[in-house]
Amino acid sequence: MPIIFTLCGVLGIVTTSASKVFSGDYLWNPLDIIAIWLDYGSGGRCAAFFAALAWYIAQVGTNITANSISAANDLTVLSPRWIDIRRGCIIAALVGGWVLVPWKILNSAQTFLAFMSGYAVFLGPIAGIIASDYWLVKRNRIDIPSLYNPDGRYHYIGGCNWRAAVAFIVPAAPLLPGLGLSISGPETIHITNGATNLYTLNFLFGFVTSVVVYTILSYVMPAKETLIKDMIRDLDGTIIEAQVQDDAGVEKGLDTAPSEKIKASNATLR
């Protein structure tokens, strides 16, 4: 994936730079380039048709698999009684295609880049928390069936891991003024140069800060019920009881209900 994303980015930069040669301006929007092709007779119109068809297939395929279905799955989990996959896809289409006014986001390169930068404000801390939890805190030892059990070992307090919440808020809050500036402009939002410069490092700052905060909180006030000896998998109906480490690093058995153990795949996931 990194190679593919890098290749796509390089092609976008090369295409935008090349558009200066034949149009006299840098055209970042591919649709503007296609509009120029239409002036070159039947050959230009044919090229525009196939390019537009390829982009249409790519957009439909990407949005259905990466956006529509994933959003629908999340909505069905939130309200399984009222929302199924089809209704979730409809809700996602309405929110993404109308509520978020995407035509304004794509109106110019500046607004588009501001929108994408806004993603980094929130994705940086999320990525840092996930990486820290898996690699530094739990050290690759996860109870996989419990990830799908709302009452399992990862229930934390009221279904929320407060350490992750704190690690998300701490780096995201200082970046919000810069996000407001990038969207509304300096005429509306006035912030210090320090906040402006910090926003230019939004993903890096959010990622590193969340890793540090989450790791420290997890070691100072650990969620002991989530710290296990080995990664637990459901293996052909074998029942495996997890071992939890106490403060001295000594492993001890859990007094758990059957939901805390690994049972057959069908029984656990059901």
Q: Kindly list the domain boundaries of the chain, sorted by start residue.
A: 2-105, 109-269
**Predicted pLDDT of residue 248:** 46
148 — pLDDT class (breaks 50, 70, 90): confident
Note the pLDDT of residue 268. Answer: 40
pLDDT score for 253: 42
Q: Is 141 helix (H, G, I), strand (E, B) or coil?
A: coil
Q: Give me 92's structure tokens.
A: 């996602």
Between the alpha carbon of residue 188 and those of residues 126, 176, 180, the distances in Å are: 29, 14, 9
CB 57 within 8 A of CB 49: no
CA separation, residue 57 to residues 52, 64, 114, 139, 143 (Å): 9, 11, 26, 41, 39
Average pLDDT (42-51) is 93
Among candidates 170, 175, 166, 191, which has minimal Cα distance to 121? 175
